[in-house]
Structure 1
């Protein structure tokens, strides 16, 4: 099983969902609105990506597919991916 790591961002927040498309359910979610996140900047994106990856690794899943949602791979979207890789998630 390789869940999809879907990144959504707005001007104020960034969120990540790890979705199992076969079962049609969300396994893990993390957002900059949670405690400990620093907003929608690149530092906040790093925290969101790392938290999401750690939560997924706790469930025993080590691989995912990165879905940037049509956004360019730079800035906050890139930081989410880098943080998830740094936490041990493979994609």
Structure 2
């Protein structure tokens, strides 16, 4: 899948990884091999600022989607290429993507 999806400086790759308990999101520039911003359900600022169950549901995915979208907009990133790995666009991944779209990120 990653052979088809490449992130550039203009449109970086928005990578989402979902484990059984947690969800991680990164915005990656593949031309420079750098992570521009990231957010996850195990980060301390998410745990302190939001009072939601921190694993296994769509609520935390929405929080992570809003958080990474706000971080991306602060860096001037408005368009991304969505990379969900081999996971289906369903459930927590869908909730994260829709929350990021609501904040203004375009895929």
CA RMSD of aligned residues (A): 1.1
Runs (5+) with no aligned partner, structure 2: 1-9
| In 2: Cα distance, 1:86 partner to 1:39 partner | 21
1:38 shift after superposition: 3.6
Give the TM-score, by structure 2 length: 0.81
Question: Which residue among 68, 90, 102 is the counterpart of 1:74?
Answer: 90
Question: Which residue among 28, 51, 57 is the counterpart of 2:37?
Answer: 28
Corresponding position of 2:7: none
- Greater C-alpha radius of gyration: 2
Question: Which residue among 72, 91, 97 is the counterpart of 1:56?
Answer: 72
> Are 1:39 and 2:48 matched, yes or no?
no
Corresponding position of 2:13: 4
Give the TM-score, by structure 1 length: 0.94
Runs (5+) with no aligned partner, structure 1: none
| In 2: Cα distance, 1:38 partner to 1:2 partner | 32
Aligned length: 91
Structure 1 residue ranges (4+ consecutive) displaced by more than 2 angstroms after TM superposition: 34-38
